[in-house]
Structure 1
Amino acid sequence: MTNHQQEFKKLAVIGTGVIGNGWIARFLAQGYDVVAFDPASGAEERTRNTIDHAWPSLEKLGLAPGASKDRLTFVATLEEAVRDADLIQENVPEREELKKNVLASIDQFAKPEAIIGSSTSGIMPSVLQEGLTNPERLIVAHPFNPVYILPLVELVGGEATTPAVLTQAAAFYESVQMKPLVINKEIEGHLADRLMEALWREALHLVNDGVATTEEVDAAIIYGAGLRWAQMGPFLTFHLAGGEKGMRHMLEQFGPALKLPWTKLEAPELTDELKEKVIQGCESHAGDVSISELEQKRNEFLVELLDLAEKYWPESNNLITK
């Protein structure tokens, strides 16, 4: 395999669901030409509608020179989408065999120096590399919804990944205004989703056991932990909770409480009754506000919150770890 080029000019996005469309919107806003492929009926129309919906938020964040919604091209085949691309972002549904089959086709048709990033939220890259001709250029590049606003992208290399690929991928994602976090050890679910999954499981138990409604759980996060985490995250938050001695005192004072059975690690059985509690709770909480309107409110909030986080915690700008 030849050395990877440093410059990325043409990007391909395979799979245009929520995450794929988020990538397309971000790439376009950063001034790139994007080629997209998705065999689903109506995919192009949905993508262009998503971009129209996202564009006001992207304008507030700041468009790169040359940024245009017109620089998106949909093509009829996967081969046509990837053959000239410098970086290919794969976003097909989270089914291992499907992903491996699609990645094998991408690997077959893409030029040897192209980098392939999978948006998988849980599958390890070494698994996805199995059977590829050029496995060393495949990495996990896992973003968060909405991709066109939230800057975190988890980068994980597999057993076959060459260090240069991760280095160049990190530089690229940083260039499109993302915060690449290079995770040095493979694990299912990577990093951020594992943390969110733990909270999600506990939230389901609280609803299932009748302790709280979905709206009350959301309020507990919004007006408590969520506000603090947006600036500092859990470790520095607890560091402050320890007073002048910081985390040292925090662990001495509250460490023993970790042995108490406050939380439940295993998820509750997702019974029909629990499903209805969660569904009805969310629908009641949302009221007459449509999903589209909720997304718009979310986007406006996140754009302002990002500015605030950057203002008060600029030291967190560089997330890349070595």
Structure 2
Amino acid sequence: VLPLLALLLLPALPVEAAAQAASEQTTFTQIISGTEIEIAFSRPSLRGREEIFGRQIPWGEVWTPGANRATTIRFSKDVVLSGTPVAAGRYSVWLRVLESEPWRLALHADTMLFHSAHPPIDEAVVHVGVERERAGDLQESLEWDLDRIRIDGADLVMHWGRDRVVVPLEVDPGIEFATPAVEARALVGAWLFDDSAALPTPDQMAGWTPDPADPTDRFYQVLLAEPRPRPVRIEYDEETGIVALVDRLIEAAEAAFYSGEGEEPVVVYGQALLPRERGFFTVAGTLGGEVSAVNPRVAPIAEFEYDEAGRAVAFTIRGPDDEVEATAVRAGG
């Protein structure tokens, strides 16, 4: 007969051992422009190990970036991974880890594989080269994430220990970004811009004392600093086909909004004009020069007027309820 103390300890030992070995299962879901990306994976931890690859995971191994069952990824619509088209569907995810060469990301049709399967790369539905980066921070538990999310894609990131793999992911944004050169050049130049209709009224501003700790107050303090109309420019990037509405005042106001109290504002936000039909453009937000946010159903619309030579001479920006938000007239080439 076992002593009472031994009997009391018996239930605890397997539970403790299981807890030490656990690689928690998680699911990450993100929707980008109507495309749903879902990643299901287990999260192994370092547990005191500084280096995993080349040791616990040998160089050359085809490894699922997770544990237990193979990590899976699902795309609700067709996407492009690292320049390679991938059909909508669910796939198991594998990485060939190499010491001195680019790693390879492979998507397999069989989503029920265990981590010990190590399927050959050449049997994958698709496989692409990916760069392994050394990160400054130590990631204890394996993490999948989507970073730098934009209207047309994001970076698919796997991070464990000090190793990161970043895979460019593209989705169909459902809207054209590029404007044909001839049409875009008709817009380029200096403009006098009047957005008084979208600003607070004098009655609304009566008695207003800006609070530097309030982001909205910082935004309006910058935005209201110049008289209307004020100068803006329309510029065209020949390489990307993007037409930019360059408004230094709104950029500075956005920077003031997103900076902390006492911080030096950094301009990263801007605006782009995305073509709908001749003379009509959707006003979209940009981040770091890339189109990052637009909902065509509710975004403001810019409508241009042209002279007999086909050169734009005026435009009006209207909101989703057709209300006028701003007007502009050409001020120069």
Q: TM-score category by the smaller chain?
A: under 0.3
Structure number with the bigger relative contact order (C-alpha 8 A, sep ≥ 6) is 1
- Relative to its length, the structure with more helix (as a share) is 1
TM-score scaled by length of structure 2: 0.22
TM-score scaled by length of structure 1: 0.22
Larger Rg: 2
- Relative to its length, the structure with more strand (as a share) is 2
